[in-house]
């Protein structure tokens, strides 16, 4: 138990370090832009005053609102602004109002606070990603269980060779075709516009009708990816020789399912943890294809309008979701796969030397 506690503390510490590193990189992308240029973009919304008498007053006003200038009009140091953004230092109003206090900041393009319109987008991407992984894990487990419980045959060999060569990326592009065909057949013209403040789509019945087609793409992609992934890693999950051993020694189907379930789940947890960036890339592509009201559209809208503070917060929140997801998988693996405590980076269950089978 002591080793597990030490491992958990180590994983949490690593996650905190990664979060700080990601936050600094994200902030640097915005922070290296000269303050005068950033305030100049705000002038573009109200009409650039040139060298009028009110120029300095407006410059100081916008710079103060954007958190770039002190009250006396002097520029705030890059590192001080970084700690202010995190919530470790007081801002130019004398308050702690950073990420640690739950304040995502203000838009540089308008006077809106990001806390007013980012939460619905964060909630959507969070729920959509959770459902995506549930779909994928369920389909993968069902297909893998069926595949392993079926003894090898010429058809299985043919299927394995076929799916090893299967290309997955085009299945995502099929989403656009499905979307257009669905709108024509069902007359379902329902796209989300680029408003920063998303209206209450949760109460809109058309929203749920529209979501049928993104989840068809999710299901289709999960099925094809699972068949290819399992065909390539079947011997890693449970070697065929090992399966023959179990069958020849008269293990009941219930015990086989129990052994296979542990190996399948452990393998998929390892695989998902090591390939989270790919899974989240798929989520982003689907959100873009269907113009869903998630964080991905924030990247496009904020980039288009050069709203850098809003873009910074959106990227950081998305990165934070991925880091926490990986930490969650690490914590689960510490308890179900003791090999993680010994620093074994890969799934190593299912060999004839494994004594774990004797537990049943």
- Note the pLDDT tens digit of each residue in 145-194: 888 777 555 555 555 555 555 555 555 556 556 655 655 665 555 454 44
Check whether residue 284 and residue 214 sit in a common domain: yes
99 and 124 assigned to the same domain? no
Cα–Cα distance between 140 and 230 in angstroms, integer? 8
Cα angle 89, 95, 98 (rounded to 5 degrees) comes to 55
Assess whether 349 and 269 both reside in one domain.
Answer: yes
Residues 306 and 200 both lie in one domain = yes
197 shares a domain with 171: yes
Let me know whether 64 and 15 are in one domain: yes
pLDDT digits (tens, 9 = 90+) for 3-51: 777 777 888 888 889 889 988 988 888 888 888 888 887 776 666 556 6
Same domain? For 102 and 122 the reply is: no
32 shares its domain with 133: no
Check whether residue 181 and residue 247 sit in a common domain: yes
Residue 335: CB atoms within 10 A of its CB come to 11
Q: Report the candidate in 139, 177, 149, 173 with the shortest Cα–Cα distance to residue 282.
A: 173
Of the residues 107, 135, 159, the one at which a domain ends: 107
Cα–Cα distances (Å) from 29 to 53, 255, 273, 313, 316, in that order, read 33, 54, 27, 12, 12
Residue after which a domain boundary falls, among 89, 107, 125: 107
- Are 129 and 46 members of one domain? no
Q: How far apart are CA 254 and CA 243, in angstroms?
A: 14
| HSE-up of residue 232 (Cα within 13 Å, Cβ side) | 11
DSSP helix/strand/coil, 155 = helix
Give me the pLDDT at residue 335, please.
79
**Residue of 345, 322, 270, 328 lying closest to 8 (CA atoms):** 328
How large a percentage of the chain has pLDDT more than 70? 75
Three-state DSSP class for 280?
helix
Query: What span, in angstroms and rounded, lies between the C-alpha atoms of 183 and 165?
Result: 32
Report how many domains make up the chain.
2
Query: Are 218 and 260 spatial neighbours (Cβ–Cβ below 8 Å)?
Result: no
| Residue 69 sits in the same domain as residue 180 | no
pLDDT at 198 exceeding the cut of 70:
no
CA distance linking residue 142 with residue 171, whole number of Å: 20
Find, among 86, 235, 85, 212, the residue nearest to 152 by Cα.
Answer: 235
Of 127, 131, 176, the closest CA to residue 289 belongs to: 176
188 Cβ neighbours under 8 A, 6+ residues apart: 182, 206, 209, 210
User: Same domain for 232 and 338?
Assistant: yes
Q: What is residue 267's three-state secondary structure?
A: helix
Please tell me the pTM assigned to this model: 0.78
Tell me what pLDDT residue 24 has: 92
CATH code where residue 172 lies: 1.10.3720
Domain's final residue, options 107, 131, 153? 107
Provide mean pLDDT across the span 223-244. Answer: 80
Domain extent at residue 170? 116-359
């Amino acid at each position: 138990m002591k080793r597990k506690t030490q491992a958990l503390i180590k994983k949490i510490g690593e996650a905190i370090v990664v979060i700080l590193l990601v936050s600094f990189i994200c902030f640097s992308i915005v922070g290296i832009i000269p303050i005068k240029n950033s305030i100049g973009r705000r002038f573009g919304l109200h009409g650039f005053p040139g060298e009028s008498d009110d120029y300095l007053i407006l410059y100081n006003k916008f710079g103060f609102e954007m958190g770039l200038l002190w009250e006396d009009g002097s520029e705030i140091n890059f590192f001080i602004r970084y700690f202010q953004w995190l919530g470790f230092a007081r801002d130019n109003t004398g308050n702690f109002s950073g990420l640690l206090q739950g304040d995502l900041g203000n838009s540089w393009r308008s006077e809106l606070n990001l806390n007013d319109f980012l939460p619905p987008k964060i909630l959507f991407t969070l729920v959509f990603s959770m459902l995506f992984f549930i779909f994928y894990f369920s389909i993968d487990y069902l297909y893998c269980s069926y595949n392993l419980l079926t003894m090898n045959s010429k058809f299985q060999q043919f299927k394995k060779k076929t799916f090893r060569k299967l290309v997955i990326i085009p299945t995502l592009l099929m989403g656009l075709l499905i979307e257009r065909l669905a709108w024509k057949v069902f007359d379902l013209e329902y796209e989300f516009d680029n408003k920063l403040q998303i209206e209450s789509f949760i109460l809109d019945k058309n929203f749920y009708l529209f979501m049928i087609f993104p989840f068809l793409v999710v299901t289709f992609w999960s099925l094809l990816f699972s068949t290819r992934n399992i065909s390539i890693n079947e011997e890693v999950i449970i070697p065929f020789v090992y399966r023959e051993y179990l069958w020849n020694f008269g293990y009941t189907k219930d015990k086989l399912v129990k052994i296979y379930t542990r190996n399948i789940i452990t393998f998929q947890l390892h695989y998902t943890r090591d390939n989270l960036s790919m899974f989240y890339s798929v989520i982003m592509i689907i959100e873009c294809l269907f113009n869903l009201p998630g964080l991905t559209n924030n990247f496009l809208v904020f980039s288009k309008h050069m709203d850098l503070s809003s873009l910074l917060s959106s990227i950081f929140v998305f990165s934070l979701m991925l880091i926490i997801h990986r930490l969650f998988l690490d914590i689960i693996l510490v308890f179900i796969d003791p090999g993680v405590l010994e620093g074994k980076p890969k799934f190593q269950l299912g060999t004839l030397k494994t004594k774990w089978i004797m537990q049943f």
